[in-house]
Structure 1
Amino acid sequence: MSSKSTLTKEQQDNVVKRIARNYDIQSIEFIKFSQDTKTGTYNLLFIINNNEKYKTGISIRNIERLNNSTDEIGLSPIETFKSLERENVLLTENIDTSDIQITYLGE
């Protein structure tokens, strides 16, 4: 498997929904998606709310995990993102992300 991996728009939307479930975000810019050829781990980097302070990412072993929008994503460092945490976690399946500005990979 090559280190030049890509995510579908749907998978990126799923990441947005999973973050929006726990955090109040206005925008997300996907910066980089890559695979570590030694470990096989996928890394996705993004910036939330156009603020370098909120530049973070997630690592996953299996790219198929991004095919659903229901798993929770916790952002770290926890202290940095505490101010964005929702008081009430959204338990609904269909999270409305229409008011979140999304910049997809490769845009």
Structure 2
Amino acid sequence: MSTEEVSPAQIESTRKTGARLRAEIGQRIAVVTQARAAELLGVSPSTVSRSVQDLDDACNLLAALGYQLAPIDAVVVSKDDLQALERMAYKYLQVRIERA
């Protein structure tokens, strides 16, 4: 267990991230609809409705754990991998420009 004190700024950041996650999920639920989500889950629409009511706590927990959402067709890379890719692209383009 961490003995590091949580700052008000960290609490606010977690709250804002949780709210953003909740908004993203809410927008997606509006597109898919609760009825369709219930069909896909094999549960009643009222079960989905109850789950949506618990969504705020779940989103705040995800935010506190440091998780983000990504669409199913997204490719997620770490910051280190992205920086490595950028460095390689920069070197490649630098050589091309020098040869031109």
Shorter-chain TM range is under 0.3
- TM-score with structure 2 setting the length: 0.26
Q: Which has the higher contact order (CA 8 A, sep 6+)?
A: 1
Structure having the larger proportion of residues in strand: 1
Structure having the larger proportion of residues in helix: 2
